[in-house]
Amino acid sequence: MKRTKTNNSETHSSPSVTLRKARMHFRSMFIVLVLFITLIQSSFLFCVAQSSDKNAFKEDQIKSLMLKVTNWQLQNPKHNTKDWTNGAFYAGVFAAWETTQSPDIYDALLRMGNTAGWSPNKRFYHADDIAISQTYIDLYRFEKREEMIRPTIDTVNLFIERPYPTRGKVDVIKWWWCDALFMAPPTLVKLGATLNDHTYFTVNDKYFKECYDLLYNKEEKLFARDLNYVIKNDGKDRYEKNGQRIFWSRGNGWVMGGLVRILKELPADYPERPFYEQLYKEMAKRVLDLQQEDGLWRASLLDPESYPGGEVSGSGFFCYALAWGINNKLLDKKTYLPAVRKTWVALTHCVNEEGRVGWVQPIGADPQKNFSPDSWEVYGTGAFLLAGSEVIKLPRK
């Protein structure tokens, strides 16, 4: 019987082909396994992140983080104690003490005041140099020691009585840059409330409104950084690449933080209080519209594409101001609470394991891009602590 030839290449694989197929099968299975493990890990990390973000609003977690941040910054001092940067920082430290009731923080505040001699910085006429006095006054309310408040009273009285020294230049108003509205007004209104002397309120109204008239853009509902942005005397354009005006995040954060600290002090029936409340609400609405998807604001508010990274000091002050507005029923909870919660989560992600607050723009007079997770400044820490002191009071549900 004749055998029929069989084409082995069609009916059976050669050993090399079989091995090749086995390798391909193994490779496919390996890729599937890697993808599966990656998916599981991603899901796990997402769940951990979600859980961590939920924990970010627990009272004990907020207090623990505020303590860690405060301790790190106290152990890593920067600048003269009386400098404006520390004025903002110690405002946050005092808020951290109010929140945590830590005796160590309170002792650190007293040491700061004793070391500084409870006196403002050198320039009686400059808003920056009385920023530290906010903390002196807050501590005086507990300690009732005359030496804690007398140098501030004397300095502020000189500020009121004497003209702003211009060294022969064209006269300018006393608060001609927006940062000043965080530095000086809270000191004046705290003095007025503490001494029960409304003269300080009236003086603050005058100089605050001068600054408002000079720098507040009623169309944009934002403050220009200083008179150089509204009085064009150097021939330079003051616009971003996209053609929008330059409005600095931290500059407007200073203003909103200052407004909160004014409103916390002014009596409910004070005649000029509605002016501050209205300005606060206008800015809050505008700022809400400018928040970015990650919960933070960019260094330049109207050109976020040119400043892709979030900036923590401006965002911290906005978080503080908006959270305070919710807690004090000046802002609608449904509208603003989701934004504030998103910001707080983003801020906590900018704190490293040691407690250092990063992503803070360095000292400057305009929006900058040269900062990173390692960029820190004491005012960024102060803004973070102020934010935490209000976030902890937010509605839990």
> Any idea which of 225-234, 341-350, 370-379 has the lowest mean pLDDT?
225-234
Q: Could you say which of 83, 128, 138, 179 is catalytic?
A: 179
What pLDDT is attached to residue 127?
Answer: 97
- Average pLDDT over all residues of the chain: 88
Exposed, middle or buried: residue 73 (CB in 10 Å: 0-12, 13-18, 19+)? buried
Residue 31 CB contacts under 8 Å (≥ 6 apart), including other chains: none
Q: Where are the beta strands (DSSP E) in 101-234?
A: 216-217, 222-223
Q: What average pLDDT score do residues 234-240 get? A: 73
In whole angstroms, give the CA distance from residue 250 to residue 322.
Answer: 15
What pLDDT is attached to residue 101?
Answer: 98
SS3 300: strand
SS3 245: strand
What pLDDT is attached to residue 20?
Answer: 52
pLDDT tens track for 72-126: 999 999 999 999 999 999 999 999 999 999 999 999 999 999 999 999 999 999 9
How far is the CA of 87 from the CAs of 16, 186, 326, 395, in angstroms? Answer: 77, 11, 25, 29
Where does the pLDDT of residue 359 fall: very low under 50, low under 70, confident under 90, or very high at 90 and above? very high
In whole angstroms, give the CA distance from residue 173 to residue 179.
Answer: 14
Where does the pLDDT of residue 2 fall: very low under 50, low under 70, confident under 90, or very high at 90 and above? very low
Q: Which residue type is seen at 346? A: A
Q: What average pLDDT score do residues 188-196 get? A: 98
What pLDDT is attached to residue 53?
Answer: 85
**Percentage above 90 pLDDT, the chain:** 79
In whole angstroms, give the CA distance from residue 379 to residue 89.
Answer: 5
* Angle between helix 133-143 and helix 150-161 axes, rounded to 10 deg: 140
In whole angstroms, give the CA distance from residue 155 to residue 389.
Answer: 29
Q: What average pLDDT score do residues 281-286 get? A: 98
What pLDDT is attached to residue 21?
Answer: 52
In whole angstroms, give the CA distance from residue 235 to residue 222.
Answer: 23
What pLDDT is attached to residue 308?
Answer: 85
CB-CB contact of 120 with 135 (8 Å): no
Which value, in Å, is the radius of gyration of the alpha carbons in the chain? 28
Closest CA to 174 of 206, 217, 197: 206
What pLDDT is attached to residue 46?
Answer: 30
- Is the per-residue pLDDT at 39 higher than 70? no
Phi and psi based region of residue 101 (left: phi greater than 0; alpha: psi -120 to 50; beta: remaining): left
Domains of the chain: 65-391 (1.50.10.10)
128 is catalytic: no
In whole angstroms, give the CA distance from residue 104 to residue 60.
Answer: 17
